[in-house]
Amino acid sequence: MAEDKPATTKMGHMGKVAKGYLVEGEVIHWQGKPATIVIIGKGVILVLAALAYTLALFLGDGSWVAYGVALAACLVMMPVDRRYGLAIGVLGLVILAMAYFLSDDWMVWVELIPLVCALLYLLANIIYLGRVLFVITDQRIITRYGILSLRYAELDIDRIQNVTVMQPWYERLLGYGDVVFATAGEKGGIDYQKPGVKLMSGGAVIWEDVSKPFEVVRKVNEIIHSLEKIRMEKGVGTVPQAGMTDAEARLMQLSELSTKGLISQQEYQQKREEILRRL
């Protein structure tokens, strides 16, 4: 989805939340989030497997068939999610072993635990999908996500060295994949242990489970090449010195543009304040 109208700095409601993170004149070129089929689908599969597990133990009267169905349900839950699905599946196996050796009435309630956990996982994924946000503007890539609390991170377009896609065959069939923004070691404040978005130690920001990932790559490359073309046309040839921070390099390039008369004094002051705010 693309949007080509300059946005204001005023915060909006959820439907216009992306605009709330932009500076005056900044333009959204792409906006999206992880694929619904992946985020919600995992929760649905986990709930169905947990429901089969619970019904097998409730209705099976301790038969081998019932234990076999419950065991199969645990094995299905484990690979659905590398953390929570695995944890619920292992918990189900522990409860299954307890149910085999114990026949107390309170075990009926214990056997419900995997189903309750799976329902909570589905609910958390629904909330997460409604709060996560991936945005590409003409200046930055913006990431927002979280469940109980929001996390926000941004990365300047000119810090991106290349963009790649990781897409195994099963993700290709469903039309989603992971988009990797390789940077010059910049971390961007993103917690790599959270689902949906992460940062690898080498300085790569990753958007996980993005629908139509090659559209994202094309859009970012178009913006990068457009910025390079504008700089070449305006003759901006300042080369950052060794040891210079990104902010210092940007301020030096901005000063050169002002000196050459390529931008107005008002534009110079506006961009300078924008760079200083990001320090």
Task: Enumerate the domain spans of the chain.
Answer: 14-34+132-223, 38-127, 235-277
pLDDT of residue 234: 58
How many alpha carbons fall within 13 Å on the CB side of residue 241? 4
Report H helices in the chain: 36-59, 64-80, 84-101, 107-110, 113-131, 169-174, 213-234, 246-259, 265-277
Share of the chain above pLDDT 70, in %: 75
Model confidence over 145-161: pLDDT tens digits? 888 877 887 888 877 87
For the ranges 27-31, 72-76, 241-245, which has the lowest average pLDDT? Answer: 241-245
pLDDT of residue 15: 39
Residue 241 has pLDDT above 70, yes or no: no
pLDDT of residue 201: 45
Collapsing DSSP states into helix, strand and coil, what is residue 62? coil
- When pLDDT is cut at 50, 70 and 90, the band that residue 187 belongs to is very low
d(CA 66, CA 19): 53
The more confidently predicted of residues 25 and 91 is 91
Count of other CB atoms within 10 angstroms of residue 248: 13
pLDDT of residue 169: 85
Q: Is the dihedral of CA 49, 196, 23, 213 positive or negative?
A: negative
pLDDT of residue 194: 47
Is residue 111 within 8 Å of 117, Cβ to Cβ?
A: no
CA dist 137 → 23, 97, 266 (Å): 10, 53, 22
The more confidently predicted of residues 214 and 224 is 214
Average pLDDT over residues 80-103: 89
CATH assignment, 14-34+132-223: 2.30.29
- When pLDDT is cut at 50, 70 and 90, the band that residue 235 belongs to is low
pLDDT of residue 199: 46
Residue 192 has pLDDT above 70, yes or no: no
Residue 189 has pLDDT above 60, yes or no: no
